Amino acid sequence: MSFTIYNTLSKQKELFKPIEEGKVKLYLCGPTVYGLLHIGNFRGPIFFNFARNWMEHIGYDVTFVYNYTDVDDKIINKAIDEGVEASEVSERYIAAFQEDYKRLGLRPHDHNPKVTEYMDEIVEYVQKLISEKKAYEVDGEVFYDIDSYNTYGQLSGMKLDELNAGQRVEVDERKKNPGDFVLWKPAKEGEPSWSSPWGEGRPGWHIECSAMIKSILGNSIDIHGGGIDLIFPHHENERAQGEGCTGCKYVNYWMHNNFINMKGEKMSKSLGNIIPARTFMDEYHPEVFKFLVLSSHYRSVLNVSDDKIEQTFSGLVRVYRALKVANDIVSNFETNDSAKVNKKFAESLKSLDKKIEKSVNDDFGTGELIASIYEAVRAFNTLGLEKKKKDVNSVPTANAFKEWVHKYGKLTALFDEDPAKVLSEINTILLKKKNIEASFVEELLAKRSQAREDKDWESADKVRDELHALGIDFQDTANGVEWSVKV
């Protein structure tokens, strides 16, 4: 099996080799907790949840660390505005994050360290950098000396003179090089602070991740992830700290996920198009969100448009409808000994497994995985089992389909809910978009049934046309009328 990962440092796909046989140490930079996270912030958590599941699926034992930055200017400023302690703000938004994360059905991480819990380790780390002559102190402030690290800039591809030019605005005479960054800074009046050999203060942003990595995972880790906006300066600086402190290679594979754009534009405060993840989940559905994220490759920009959302709804409905058919068949029978899985169908599932393995092992090609799930649904629908729900011979095939989708559902955190429940939730969302009440649809359907009972075919047809004009699909089944909103 060949499993490759694109490494931002080498700018190419590399064969994955773990530091320790069979194990993966994975660290993903977490949020600064001062507000609700928007959909772009969740692309990393959704994708890396899948990446971890996949690596476990192919046999690795993964330790996954995701931190909370609970010491930061933005948190402090918000706390001052609200007249509360900084910890109140950070705890509130950690809880909000965890609520959203749970709603997405993503697996808990192995460790969720907070900066405030790692102050001793951070101070120790800065001391070590000073003793290694990688950092220096001026007036209670400690800076990293980037000239002491000769591959500084290699991860982001930034040249030192470009960096210096970028620093023109902020000239700090105390720095040896304008690109030197802060490891420890003195606290201002009223700010939370911790004691250190350089006086009361608090850490700079970058040092926390290096200190947590060293404490929890060790000197070197296999994979460090984050959004591409973190490559510079955050990860560039982390790398300098990590290798400056321990002399070991800090990270073997740097993985960065791209942005989410809304309708062709980058999300930004000034454009007013930032959508909190929970608003998106209320308006659409958590499954729609995950499906969107995993349909495109993590390194490409994900453009969320109305068309794309509509396609996603229709894709989800297709998968869940097929799962519902399979469920109905299976639940019609207690046991089945005589029948076998449709041979051709079993073969197509097997060949889709191979296709998925190949694409996901090639730097996590999740788009092909989603496309393969569609293919399996198509193959299942072609068998026409919907009309043979009461046929005991359909059971093994329906079961095989359910189990197959379930296997990938576990990895992707998709298609793992009760199909009837999701289809009904999607119906509600789509009706709301059309401004139609479900009770109104039920009323029309009852009217049609009555007309049919009265053999008033003309009225029955009229109501049918009215329902179709509203975009309502329906079928007469043994269990009554089943209806859904057209997507």
Q: Which is nearer to Zn ion, 29 or 441 (CB)?
A: 29
In the complex, minimum distance from the CB of residue 224 to Zn ion, in angstroms, rounded to a whole number: 8
Tokens of 222: 């296999």
In the complex, minimum distance from the CB of residue 340 to Zn ion, in angstroms, rounded to a whole number: 53
Pairing of β 221-227 and β 251-257 = parallel
Are 126 and 66 within 8 A, CB to CB? no
Are 139 and 174 within 8 A, CB to CB? yes
Q: Which is nearer to Zn ion, 86 or 211 (CB)?
A: 211
Tokens of 67: 């931190």
Q: Which is nearer to Zn ion, 180 or 208 (CB)?
A: 208
In the complex, minimum distance from the CB of residue 16 to Zn ion, in angstroms, rounded to a whole number: 22
Length of the chain: 487
Task: Please give the residue ranges that form the binding site for Zn ion (CB under 5 A).
Answer: 29, 209
3-state helix, strand, coil in the chain (%, to 5): 50, 15, 30
Q: Which is nearer to Zn ion, 29 or 211 (CB)?
A: 29
The 8-class DSSP code of residue 147 comes to: G
In the complex, minimum distance from the CB of residue 239 to Zn ion, in angstroms, rounded to a whole number: 11
Q: Concatenate the DSSP letters of all residues of 99-116 into one string.
A: HHHHHTTPPPPSB--BGG
The 10 Å Cβ neighbour count of residue 437 is 10
CA-CA-CA-CA dihedral for 300, 304, 305, 306, to nearest 10: 140
Q: Which is nearer to Zn ion, 122 or 288 (CB)?
A: 122
In the complex, minimum distance from the CB of residue 332 to Zn ion, in angstroms, rounded to a whole number: 52
Q: Which is nearer to Zn ion, 30 or 315 (CB)?
A: 30
Helices 43-57 and 395-412 meet at what angle, rounded to 10? 120
Q: Which is nearer to Zn ion, 101 or 345 (CB)?
A: 101
Residue type, 322: A
Distances (CA, A) of 78 to 74, 256, 397: 6, 29, 57
In the complex, minimum distance from the CB of residue 256 to Zn ion, in angstroms, rounded to a whole number: 12
Are 107 and 52 within 8 A, CB to CB? yes
In the complex, minimum distance from the CB of residue 238 to Zn ion, in angstroms, rounded to a whole number: 6
Alpha-carbon span 423 to 275, nearest angstrom: 24
